[in-house]
Structure 1
Amino acid sequence: MQIQIKADSRHSQLSTFIKLGGNSFYRILTRKNYRIPKNYLQWHELASLVALMAEEHENHKLDLAQRFAGHRHALWMVQDAPIYCLDKDLQQLFSQTDVGDESAIFKDLITHLPIHSLMLLLPNGGVRSPDGSCVDYLNIHCSDVNHQEWSTGEKYGLKVKYLAHEHDTNIHFGAIDTQGTVWFSGWGINADGKLEQRDGNLGRTKMVDLDKKFLRDLRNIVMQSLMFLSFEQTGIETVTYKETIGHGFATQEPKERCFYPRWLRLQEKSQVSIDKGGSHASPSPHWRRGHWRRSAVGEGRVDRKWNWIQPVFVGN
């Protein structure tokens, strides 16, 4: 859901906030001293966004989109949830993969999720809203009626309460783009795995068809990322210090304690496939779309495992 909070750009607002010393939440967050790769949203700006949203998460003067987004940002903070960087090549593969509507995968997704709150950093400039603004991160949270502890927390002088919801499981995502617009949406999953999605307004600004399409594009990134985490990525790969500095700079890690995000990317052995096609009858270069498939595995092949059939670029 969309609402414009200020006409000024996000960067200039946050720069002023930082120069003035931020607030108590900002000072707490910056002590973590996250080091993030250069082509992603940097830590001081992300910490500013979280600090401002967390401070306002119970402000009833805000509309529902802002309050829900604030609640999820605050949850991420009090739960000390991780940061992931989505690799640009993997993001492209996600855009060429069909999620499908088979209920089994959504039901299985909830039981396999390794985490329930995360900040997903997107490559700078890789995701553009209808007005040309950049969405460079997504705050993702999964809530479940049987696990209220996933959606509450108290730390750093901040108490985040559980918010009741209509579906058995809800997956929400939110962000503030580079023009200061709040985006918030998600979907519900019921006990039978049925997916419930709505495109209604939570903010004061009425969404047009382009906005709704854009939210569906963001929703696809969230779905694919959670499915990749649940069914494909077998281990945690942490960003290295060398990946956070420019070429030609010193490679020795700083002495002070630093935190590093996790990568969401393909392992080196798994590369994007390029099919050269035939000779004289080859079609124009195009993507052969990927999909998710449930396969029989284990002794007697009685167990089931979801596998990602990656898209293939077909061309001469």
Structure 2
Amino acid sequence: MTKKPKGWYKEIVIRPVVHVDGYESYEKMCGIVADFYYSGEEQTLLRQLRTNPAESRYITLYTLFKVGQAKCPAYWVNKDLLEALLQSVLTVEIDSLNWAMKTGMFMLPKSVILSPENKSVDAIFWNYDSEADILYWAATDGSSSFCRRFKLNAQKFSYTDAEDIDPKVVKGFNEYLHSILLRLILIMECRPELVDTTSELVRVNKGFGKAQAQDFYQPLWLGLGYRLKREGMQTTSEGSSVTHGTKSVHWRRGFLRNQPYGEGRQQRKLVWIEPVLVMGGKESS
């Protein structure tokens, strides 16, 4: 693997981002991208993929190379939003997605998505080749890598297994990560108000003088300020409790609706009906 050149971070990122508590360092994730970006060459990787289209090494190499080429655009995914998406049935024709971003990385909250080895998956990297209509993505838990090459128009996919893990387990986990990525892409399309478009400049003083101050940017968020919807016991004016006929905490699943709108309600748009966490309680008599 080719060694990263001096000053690689400035060369490979659009802008430096301040650290976000509860998430892995952006610089560390970019470092993973850089390791592959500086050791690969696009045409060579494409030839290798044509020869071995299901080889995990080449899928991962190509995905991270393209993310590095795009200078590591990233969105930080709000923890509550991620949980809400995991509690939603979001079925949609994949080839109908508009792909607000064709290449990038989703920074995931730590220890929410756990690999089969019970390690945190802190980011998902992806690249959508619109000409070939192929989606590539890759992720790592620090020791094992997961990836997929997905032909969208044929609705087929190929996956490869990480070493030393039961292939059936990895297949299921790949499908799980794949569904998370598509849900995040989908929510960027049907809920654009949840997507940050600008980030503020922040000057961070690393020492005791102005010369040591550095410019960073606030992260771009997907779902900043989003909170899970909860439904719990209500209290009447007399002070008694009213519940919704349930004894245990449970989710009311979210789903997508193809809602009509416009003149004559002839047009359609995807609307996300959000999940609700029903808190439960004793049934009223």
TM-score (norm 2): 0.76
Contact 2:14 2:73 in 1 (8 A): no
Q: Distance in 2 between matches of 1:202 and 1:285?
A: 36
Look up the equivalent residue of 2:104 and give its one-letter code. L
> Following superposition of structure 1 onto structure 2, how do residues 53-92 of structure 1 map, counting pairs within 5 Å?
53-58=36-41, 64-92=55-83
- 1:175 matched to 2:139: yes
Aligned partners of 1:280 and 1:205: how far apart in 2?
A: 47
Aligned amino acid, residue 28 of structure 2? E
Residue ranges of structure 1 left out of the alignment (5+ in a row): 1-16, 146-164, 246-253
Letter in structure 1 aligned against 2:62 = H
In the superposition, relative to structure 1, how do residues 280 and 67 fare at CA in structure 2: closer, same or farther (>3 Å)? closer
Shift of 1:44: 2.7
Equivalent residues in 2 for 1:133-282, closer than 5 Å: 133-145=119-131, 169-179=133-143, 181-190=144-153, 195-198=155-158, 200-201=159-160, 208-234=167-193, 235-238=195-198, 256-265=214-223, 268=225, 271-276=227-232, 279=243, 281-282=245-246
Cα pair 2:201 2:216 within 8 Å, conserved: no
Identity of aligned residues (%): 20
1:57/1:68 contact within 8 Å kept: no
Alignment of 1:23 with 2:2, yes or no, is: no
1:37-74: CA deviation from partner (whole Å, max 9, x where unpaired): 12212133122211111123347799831222222222
Task: Give the conservation status (yes or no) of the 8 Å contact 1:69–1:174.
Answer: yes
Aligned to 2:26: 43
Does the 8 Å CA contact 1:85/1:120 hold for their aligned counterparts? yes
- Report the Cα offset of residue 183 of structure 1: 1.2
Please give the alpha-carbon distance, in whole angstroms, between the structure 1 residues aligned to 2:25 and 2:79: 16
Aligned equivalents of 1:255, 1:302: Cα separation in 2 = 56
Distance in structure 1 (CA, Å) of the matches to 2:105 and 2:117 = 23
Which of 96, 108, 127 does residue 113 from structure 2 map onto?
A: 127
Deviation at 1:25, TM superposition (A): 7.2
SS of equivalent to 2:124: strand
Q: Conserved in 2, the CA contact under 8 Å of 1:56 and 1:67?
A: no
Alignment partners' CA distance in 1, 2:170 and 2:162: 12
Structure 2 counterpart SS, 1:256 = strand
Query: What is the alpha-carbon distance in structure 1 between the residues aligned to residue 115 and residue 12 of structure 2?
Result: 28
- Residues 77 and 280 of structure 1: is their aligned pair in 2 closer, same or farther, counting only changes over 3 Å? closer
Matched residue count = 255
* Separation in structure 1 between the aligned mates of residue 38 and residue 77 of structure 2, nearest angstrom: 27
Give 1:258's aligned amino acid: F
**Structure 1 residue 222: Cα displacement:** 0.3
Task: Check conservation: 2:146, 2:161, Cα contact below 8 A.
Answer: no
Q: 1:264 to 1:314 in 2, by over 3 A?
A: same
The CA deviation string for residues 145-184 of structure 1, in whole angstroms up to 9 with x for no partner, is 2xxxxxxxxxxxxxxxxxxx5xxx22221023222x2211
State the SS of the aligned residue for 1:84: strand
Map Cα deviations across residues 60-115 of structure 1 (whole Å, 9 max, x no partner).
Answer: 79983122222222212222352100111011001101122x43xx2321xx2222
* Cα distance, 1:216–1:113 mapped onto 2, change above 3 Å: same
CA offsets per residue over residues 181-207 of structure 1, 9 Å max, x none? Answer: 2211143321xxx63234x43767675
In the alignment, is the contact (CA less than 8 A) between 2:104 and 2:126 conserved in 1?
Answer: yes
Residues of 1 paired with 2:68 and 2:7: CA distance?
A: 9
Deviation sequence 1:204-228 (CA, Å, 0-9, x none): 7675222112112211210110001
Of the three residues 94, 99, 103, the one matched with 2:90 is: 99
The structure whose Rg is larger is 2
TM-score by length of 1: 0.70
Aligned mates of 1:36, 1:224 — CA distance in 2: 25
Give me the whole-angstrom Cα distance separating, in 2, the residues matched to 1:134 and 1:94.
18
Higher relative contact order (CA 8 A, sep 6+): 1
Specify the SS of the correspondent of 2:256: strand
Amino acid in structure 2 at the alignment position of 1:91:
L
- Alpha-carbon separation, structure 2, partners of 1:123 and 1:280: 32
